Structure 1
Amino acid sequence: MFGFLIFLPETGQLWPIMAGASIIVTVGILDDLMELSAKVKFAAQIMAAIVTVLGGVQIEFITLPFGDRVEFGYLAIPITLLWIVGVTNAINFIDGLDGLAAGVTSIALLTISGIAISMGNAAIGLAGMLLLGSTLGFLVYNFHPAKIFMGDTGSLFLGYMVSVLAVMGLFKNVTFFSLIVPIIILGVPILDTLSAIVRRIRHKQPVTSPDKLHLHHCLIRLGYSHRQTVILIYAVSSLFSIAAILFTRATMWGSVMLIVSLILLVELIVEITGIIGENYRPILNIIRKSRP
């Protein structure tokens, strides 16, 4: 955070972002020390997001094909709140193995920074690179077998900062379909979070109830080692990031093909890993039945 204050230009949004980050770090420290309830953590995340959004960090519009733009108006506030809280939790959810959250976040930050710089948003690119430097330095000691651990303090802070940087650097600058790019970049944590929600609803469990069926758990259950699982998720995250970069340069039909390919990839990941349920395999069942 101190790097942001030193190197980034003074804007009306900087101090609200710092205030939101301070709330996130405080609740993370308290959770690591005394295990706060899910409701308390969620309330603190909403509070941090509200401070940030009221400070001017908002998804005010998205761009659509053919240059059209959708203005959100008053809906910008709840939409941005949902994005910040959702991404914050998504990064927190994947912090289940040594080096996983730090590595996936590093890949996302590198992509966000590169795209922001290419779009002429040097300030956000610099902010992303500052945060990337800290995650890579941490990853050296956090990769399996870890010598230091992130805890909720680190994962919640990273999730919050990534969500804010995405709002400031991507939603307003990508010219074809600005909503898609940040979602693709954060494809792995978003997939894991949405799968957890669907899984718990299917099993009639509270959405906030913990389980051992996240993506990394499913890969280990398939026989991959700790290190192999982390590297495999890194590879998938990198693939999503490459797709996001291609998306910013693709034609309309190229973008459509990318989206279809990514949807198919996500579906196969869900079915192969069993992240929603072991019996959910529609495409794999069709392939199996089509074999002679």
Structure 2
Amino acid sequence: MLYLTLVVAFIASILLTPLVKRFAFRIGAVDRPNYRKVHARIMPRLGGLAIFGSFLIAYLFLQPKDPVSAAFESSLIPIETAIIIGAFLIIVTGVLDDMLEITAKAKMLGQLAAAGVVVIGGGLEISFINLPFGGVLDFGYFSIPLTIIWIVGITNAINLIDGLDGLAAGVSTVALLTLTAMAFIMGDIFVMSTAAILAASSIGFLFYNFHPAKIFMGDTGALFLGFMISVLALMGFKNVTVVALIIPIIMLGVPISDTFFAIVRRVREKKSISEADKSHLHHCLLNIGFSHSQTVLIIYGISALFGLAALLFSQATLWGGILLIGVMLLAIELFVEVVGLAGKNYRPLINLVRMIGK
């Protein structure tokens, strides 16, 4: 049944995207070129509507439920219902921004409302974690704010990397496939099915969104994917050990690290953390000479490595996990240094990477 549902999601996404493209042009939901963007012509946005529509069709077709993962003690409504309501609020927020370019405060309000529905209405919250060397850390009254911060943070992290054709959709797909595999290992049917359906919808959209893109997902798609990934990651790793709680952070290593460095950069330069710039990872790779497609594929590869690391981490012992984290932090530091050096004088290094890519 799940395999058929994935086919439904994939085909629905392929069929809906051209319709959404025409609709975006008709209502004026388009992205115009400027100094910060890499495209040179007016592009339709709202592509996220196709992802959401195909996901919703397949989700209602399968209606995934799992009493172990979906029944939370403090819920006011079923978590499945809360997720759909929250996703709808996120979609409305994204559509308004793609059409009218609403303020950052207005977008944040929509994200907080969506997160609040899932956390307060659905009862999804990080209430405690088991410490690795014994004992329990109970978050108490901070559990709801911390959970909302996680959801809003990951939602915006996906949105921030949406700077190149197919980038956010591809990175999200890698994260969703990783989440699907981990949920399968853990026996979490609800998370596995929902993540797989969303991945199939994203893959269908990539047929129109990969370079050269025919349509952008816009904030509608980026916020929706970020919201769903953040919620599903929490559902898969709720009330667990510190080590297990690190798994979704590793899995989302690319958007989280890019967002972290963006915040540090803007604070250091005494700018607002919400102010856009051209210093994200994809901008840096473009600046040192990689093509549009090469840059996207490189980041896909990095995302896949993070996903593999998350899978290994989930099966590792405590000390093995600590060692893996150390190796990953070292690798991230080396990558940042290599990118910085390549941008200055290491053109042979760029040529070598291009040869390997071919």
| Aligned match for 1:244, one of 299, 302, 310 | 310
CA contact (8 A) 1:91 1:158 kept: yes
State the AA in 1 paired with 2:59: F
For the residue of structure 2 that corresponds to 1:44, the secondary structure is: helix
Deviations 1:261-286 (A, max 9, x none): 11112222333335xxx99xxxxxxx
Query: How far apart in 1 are the matches of 2:220 and 2:197?
Result: 18
1:4 alignment partner in structure 2: 59
| Percent pairwise identity | 53
Displaced runs of 4+ in structure 1, greater than 6 A?
Answer: none
Query: How far apart in 2 are the matches of 1:161 and 1:39?
Result: 21
1:83 alignment partner in structure 2: 150
Distance 1:68 1:124, change over 3 A: farther
| Aligned match for 2:184, one of 117, 126, 131 | 117
CA contact (8 A) 2:125 2:238 kept: no
Displacement of 1:117 after TM fit? 1.4
Query: How far apart in 2 are the matches of 1:248 and 1:271?
Result: 28
Distance 1:53 1:264, change over 3 A: same
What is the root-mean-square deviation in Å for CA atoms of aligned residues?
2.0
Query: 1:34-49, aligned counterparts within 5 Å?
Result: 34-49=100-115
Query: How far apart in 2 are the matches of 1:63 and 1:121?
Result: 20
State the AA in 2 paired with 1:71: D
State the AA in 2 paired with 1:222: I
For the residue of structure 1 that corresponds to 2:243, the secondary structure is: coil
For the residue of structure 2 that corresponds to 1:65, the secondary structure is: coil
For the residue of structure 1 that corresponds to 2:137, the secondary structure is: strand
Query: How far apart in 2 are the matches of 1:207 and 1:163?
Result: 21
Query: 1:155-174, aligned counterparts within 5 Å?
Result: 155-172=222-239
CA contact (8 A) 2:243 2:318 kept: no
2:274 alignment partner in structure 1: 208
Q: Does 1:33 align with 2:99?
A: yes
Query: How far apart in 2 are the matches of 1:47 and 1:29?
Result: 15
State the AA in 1 paired with 2:91: V
Query: How far apart in 2 are the matches of 1:113 and 1:63?
Result: 24
CA contact (8 A) 1:62 1:177 kept: no
Displacement of 1:136 after TM fit? 0.8
State the AA in 2 paired with 1:160: F
CA contact (8 A) 1:171 1:178 kept: no
CA contact (8 A) 1:100 1:230 kept: yes
Query: How far apart in 2 are the matches of 1:20 and 1:166?
Result: 15
1:178 alignment partner in structure 2: 244
Displacement of 1:213 after TM fit? 0.7
CA contact (8 A) 2:129 2:242 kept: no
Displacement of 1:15 after TM fit? 1.4
CA contact (8 A) 1:94 1:101 kept: yes
Query: How far apart in 2 are the matches of 1:172 and 1:181?
Result: 13
2:88 alignment partner in structure 1: 22
Query: How far apart in 2 are the matches of 1:167 and 1:2?
Result: 24
TM-score for both structures, normalised by structure 1: 0.89
1:61 alignment partner in structure 2: 128
1:228 alignment partner in structure 2: 294
For the residue of structure 2 that corresponds to 1:62, the secondary structure is: strand
TM-score for both structures, normalised by structure 2: 0.73
Deviations 1:119-174 (A, max 9, x none): 1111110111010110111112211111222111011000000000000012446x
Distance 1:43 1:273, change over 3 A: farther
| Aligned match for 1:256, one of 314, 319, 322 | 322
For the residue of structure 2 that corresponds to 1:149, the secondary structure is: coil
Deviations 1:209-235 (A, max 9, x none): 110111100110111110110010011
1:136 alignment partner in structure 2: 203
Distance 1:3 1:60, change over 3 A: farther
Displacement of 1:176 after TM fit? 6.6
Displacement of 1:112 after TM fit? 0.7
For the residue of structure 2 that corresponds to 1:70, the secondary structure is: strand
Displacement of 1:67 after TM fit? 6.4
Displacement of 1:44 after TM fit? 1.2
Query: How far apart in 2 are the matches of 1:57 and 1:97?
Result: 33
Query: Which has the higher Rg, Structure 1 or Structure 2?
Result: 2
1:282 alignment partner in structure 2: none
1:100 alignment partner in structure 2: 167
2:256 alignment partner in structure 1: 190
For the residue of structure 1 that corresponds to 2:271, the secondary structure is: coil
CA contact (8 A) 1:99 1:146 kept: yes
Distance 1:52 1:147, change over 3 A: same
CA contact (8 A) 2:59 2:194 kept: yes
State the AA in 1 paired with 2:198: L
